[in-house]
Amino acid sequence: MIEMTVEPLTDELFAEILPLAQACWDESTKVKGESCAYYGERDFLIEPDADQYKTLQAAGGLLIITVRDEGVLVGYLIGILYRSLHHRHITCALGDSMYLKPEYRFSHAASVASLFERELTAIGIGIIGWPAHRSSPLYEFLQSRGYVEDDTVMEKRLGVN
């Protein structure tokens, strides 16, 4: 039985998310290809900063939705919440990361996104942004849900890190 729930970040949840986050990274590496500033150097293990995520949560700036099948984590959506720096009256959310194991995508992606939008609406978020590569399945998925391309993030590798 599939359960979609808002869960607080714990060390245990972070450990459960990590393998799925790596799979997400690996897939996005293939999608981005040469268009990434780290082209040719993306084939590595990610090292998410758990302390930064915990800081966001403590400040009320994190929303995590989990997708579990018989209690086993098969997907997640992480949103970062903030007040617009350019328009102080607008509250925002950024879709930090969304991943569902491939066998769950077709049947559950829309439900996860809908739950995310309902949760954000309930807490007064006015706009949601998503970084999504134009050639990614996420980009097409978001377009199908009424999202529009606004600004494009341009990257330049400076050689640091």
Which tens digits make up the pLDDT trace of 33-52?
Answer: 666 666 566 666 889 999 99
pLDDT reading at 26 higher than 90: no
pLDDT tens across 88-129, in order?
999 999 999 999 999 999 999 999 999 999 999 999 999 999
Q: Beta strand pairing status for 91-100 and 127-129? A: parallel
Q: Provide the 3-class DSSP secondary structure of residue 3.
A: strand
What are the chain's domains?
Answer: 2-144 (3.40.630.30)
Q: 25, 46 in Cβ contact below 8 A?
A: yes
Other beta carbons less than 10 A from residue 98's beta carbon: 22
Nearest to 16 by CA among 81, 64, 60: 64
